[in-house]
Every structure is written in structure tokens, then in C-alpha cells.
Amino acid sequence: MAHKFEVYQDKAGEYRVRFKFNSEVIFSTEGYSDKSGAK
């Protein structure tokens, strides 16, 4: 049962945070214009 949060850039260029549990995305946040906003 591995889980993690990861910050990634979507296709629109916005930064988002997603929570993954067993390689399945459980949720993703709204988009942020810069990476520091997503942290």
C-alpha cells in the first residue's frame, strides 16, 4: 500500500498536486500558475 503526493504540470501549463494510492489517483487539486502555489 504505497501512497504519495506529487506536484505536476498539466497540459495547460498549470501546476497541480495529486494524491496517489497504489498507483491510482485519488484526487487532484485546482491549478496554480506557479509551482510554489501548489506546494
The tally of domains found in the chain comes to: 1
- Grid cell 497504489 is found at 22
CATH of the domain at 23: 3.30.160.160
What domain range includes position 26? 3-38
Residue with C-alpha cell 501548489? 38
Residue-level pLDDT at 7: 96
pLDDT digits (tens, 9 = 90+) for 24-36: 999 999 999 999 8
| pTM (2 d.p.) | 0.77
Amino acid letter for position 19: F
CA pair distance 3, 14, nearest whole angstrom = 23
Q: What string of DSSP letters covers 1-39?
A: --EEEEEEE-TTS-EEEEEEETTEEEEE---BSSHHHH-
**CA distance linking residue 39 with residue 35, whole number of Å:** 7
